[in-house]
Amino acid sequence: MALSEFELIQRYFAPFNTSPAVVAGIGDDCAVLALSPGSELCTSIDTMVESVHFPANADPHGLGWRCLAAAVSDLAACGARPVGFCLALTLPDVAESWLAAFASGLAAAAEAFAIPLVGGDTTRGPLTLSVQVMGEVARGGALLRSGAKAGDQVWVSGTLGEGRAALDYLDQPSHANPFSKAYYYPRPPLQFGCELAGVAHSAIDISDGLLADLGHILQASGVGAEIDITRLPVSKALITRCGRERATEFALSGGDDYQLCFTSASASLTTLQALAQKHEVQLTCIGHIREQSGILCRDAQGKLVDPHYSGYRHFS
Amino acid sequence: MALSEFELIQRYFAPFNTSPAVVAGIGDDCAVLALSPGSELCTSIDTMVESVHFPANADPHGLGWRCLAAAVSDLAACGARPVGFCLALTLPDVAESWLAAFASGLAAAAEAFAIPLVGGDTTRGPLTLSVQVMGEVARGGALLRSGAKAGDQVWVSGTLGEGRAALDYLDQPSHANPFSKAYYYPRPPLQFGCELAGVAHSAIDISDGLLADLGHILQASGVGAEIDITRLPVSKALITRCGRERATEFALSGGDDYQLCFTSASASLTTLQALAQKHEVQLTCIGHIREQSGILCRDAQGKLVDPHYSGYRHFS
């Protein structure tokens, strides 16, 4: 049964369009949203293309979750409270079973991250998912990449490397991929991120890999960093599967982790620990910010090496 | 020369990122925007896919203009002042000459519509352009589809039908297409639309064709309409090329016009004429709203016909 664009949107996407901030949702020329008084709007857009960012025949429920999770990860990095998101969905044909599973995964993520779907566009073409997210911060309160200061501690949330490890299994069915959950169902610490604004000096989400993303903070802030690779948070499962050396490389350069890397004054330690406990977020201090530019890594032998010349980037 | 995503964005898209509303633009996890105090956010997203919404080898400068113009058309329909837009650009490969022309067309439209580029995502894949626009309205002031009242006059801006007429020439080079300008360089009346809020009762942009789009207003408002097809604004060029009958069919059902269809009380006539003059927008009253559902068309013989059974839709 061929459904029109209007029927498709009505059937699969209209139901999870609820929030007090939504003045007018799907079904008009624009969605209309009421931000909190005194707040500023934070916005970001992320695109995933079949066979480029995910394999053909990827699990549609997982894709639904993943495309929204990857986008809200940018809100987390800015310390923004979620307001709403738009979905531009380009589909090769209308397979209702695919669409039902995709919408179900998307709805699950929308509920988990407390962000309503407020608008979108459905078109025919090669499978492409663009998610645009909107959040709000107190005026002047957005967490940026540019605030890192010499002496800051460098922190990461969660564990790193499993997103990259999953790529080696993506041609296999989801159930045969030991890191399927990390790949399809990332959980960026959005609520934790909202409370980081005012505590952290700078933040970024780890989507391109820790070294690359920390590098963006360093460049924007005009500083450098020293990190201790023995402290990188990697899961036991990752070490068991890949060995510690490869697990470390994945954690440094793998990407697709959708965790936060941020810097803050050492005096903020108690506040951070309380926030981590409140939101059940694992936090690890992996190093500190220095005045000199560049990233130095202290390796397992205690030696300082430049990771860009040590082979840690050869997977990127 | 292969440029990275970062270099591409820096070179072609960073330069036209300026507006007092932009607190932080391209280059952080999110763009941060300051809306006017007391305003609400209006947002919409539109996708165009190569070989679906535009031909392969379409003029890149025209595409740059068109993808933004089509998206701001939704802001015009809501009466929203432009705040900023995001671009999700999926490209098969990095052809710098293509990208330079595309960015130049996009920048020209951004300037004409006074809307800054604030964020985006550049990915590899089949050529797909998603533009997400943000605007603002006074609280409660968004122009919706649902406010049409029996007795309202039905108005359209500009002329209709050339967008559709251009499709018949799209396999030819731009210079051989007599309606190339209407197709690649539509000019939705954005500033006029901003001032329509508070005057018009309902509005929509004409992207799917007048009958279809007016139909959305009627459905959302629970009313019907009678329109006089002899009053439809069609250009002399369109009539000369296609004859009056086909020109009328294109105007009724063609789509891609990016003009406004709106309804307002007849008492607003003087205000509307002043606004039209101020913004140099051609306005035509084409009929009125009735209580009974459905659209009736008065034809050239003065007979009332139901356009959905008269063949006017056979191009849609």
| DSSP letter for each residue of chain B | -PPPHHHHIIIIIGGG---TTEEE-BTBSSEEE-PPTTEEEEEEEEEEEBTTTB-TT--HHHHHHHHHHHHHHHHHHHTPEEEEEEEEEEESS--HHHHHHHHHHHHHHHHHTT--EEEEEEEESS-EEEEEEEEEEETT----GGG--TTPEEEEES--SHHHHHHTTTTS-GGG-TTHHHHHS----HHHHHHHBTTBSEEEE-SS-HHHHHHHHHHHHT-EEEEEGGG----HHHHHHHHHHHHHHHHHH------EEEEE-GGGHHHHHHHHHHHT--EEEEEEEESSSEEEEE-TTS-EE-GGGTTTTTT-
pLDDT of residue A3: 56
pLDDT of residue B2: 52
B86-114 pLDDT, tens digit per residue, is 999 999 986 788 999 999 999 999 999 99
How far, in Å, CA of A244 to CA of A229, rounded?
Answer: 11
Mutate to test the interface with B, among A32, A39, A143, A196 (most CBs of B within 10 A): A32
pLDDT of residue B115: 95
Q: Which ranges in chain A are annotated with CATH 3.90.650.10?
A: 145-309
pLDDT tier for residue B21 given thresholds of 50, 70 and 90: confident
Of the partner residues B33, B37, B128, the one whose CB lies closest to the CB of residue A41:
B33
pLDDT tops 70 at residue A2 = no
Put simply, whether A203 touches B (Cβ < 8 Å) is: yes
How far, in Å, CA of A202 to CA of B149, rounded?
Answer: 52
Put simply, whether B203 touches A (Cβ < 8 Å) is: yes
Using a CB-CB cut-off of 8 Å, the residues of chain B touching A52 are 123-125
Q: Cβ of A130 and B130 within 8 Å?
A: yes
A18-77 pLDDT, tens digit per residue, is 777 888 877 788 999 999 999 999 999 999 999 999 988 899 999 999 999 999 999 999
Pairs of CB atoms within 8 A across A/B: 204
Put simply, whether A132 touches B (Cβ < 8 Å) is: yes
B254-269 pLDDT, tens digit per residue, is 989 999 999 999 999 9
pLDDT tops 90 at residue B196 = yes
Put simply, whether A205 touches B (Cβ < 8 Å) is: yes
Using a CB-CB cut-off of 8 Å, the residues of chain A touching B55 are none
pLDDT tops 80 at residue B128 = yes
pLDDT tier for residue A15 given thresholds of 50, 70 and 90: low
How far, in Å, CA of A160 to CA of A152, rounded?
Answer: 21
Q: Cβ of B88 and A45 within 8 Å?
A: yes
Nearest CA in chain B to A121: B46
Of the partner residues B30, B45, B49, the one whose CB lies closest to the CB of residue A120:
B45
- Within 10 angstroms of residue A307's Cβ, the number of other Cβ atoms is 21
pLDDT of residue A299: 84
Give the closest-approach CA distance of B267 to chain A in angstroms.
Answer: 26
pLDDT tier for residue A96 given thresholds of 50, 70 and 90: confident
pLDDT of residue A17: 58
Q: Cβ of B125 and A130 within 8 Å?
A: no
Put simply, whether A212 touches B (Cβ < 8 Å) is: no
Instruction: Specify whether the CB–CB gap between A32 and B137 falls below 8 A.
Output: yes
User: Mean pLDDT, chain B, as a whole number?
Assistant: 90
A residues 103-122 lying closer than 8 A (beta carbon) to B: 118-121
Using a CB-CB cut-off of 8 Å, the residues of chain A touching B42 are 30-33
Structurally, at CATH architecture level, domain B5-138 sits in 2-Layer Sandwich (3.30)
Q: Which ranges in chain B are annotated with CATH 3.30.1330.10?
A: 5-138
Put simply, whether A41 touches B (Cβ < 8 Å) is: yes
pLDDT of residue A315: 36
pLDDT tier for residue A301 given thresholds of 50, 70 and 90: confident
Q: Does domain A6-138 have CATH number 3.30.1330.10?
A: yes
pLDDT tops 50 at residue A313 = no
B26-45 pLDDT, tens digit per residue, is 778 899 999 999 999 999 99
The mean pLDDT of B115-140, rounded to a whole number, is: 93
Whether pTM > 0.80 for this model: the answer is: yes
Q: Cβ of A52 and B27 within 8 Å?
A: no
pLDDT of residue A4: 62
Q: Which of A65-79, A292-306, B273-287, B302-316 has the lowest mean pLDDT?
A: B302-316
Q: Cβ of B42 and A30 within 8 Å?
A: yes
Q: Which ranges in chain A are annotated with CATH 3.30.1330.10?
A: 6-138
User: What ipTM is given for this predicted complex?
Assistant: 0.89
CATH number of B145-309: 3.90.650.10
Using a CB-CB cut-off of 8 Å, the residues of chain B touching A204 are 29
pLDDT tops 90 at residue B308 = no
Put simply, whether A92 touches B (Cβ < 8 Å) is: no
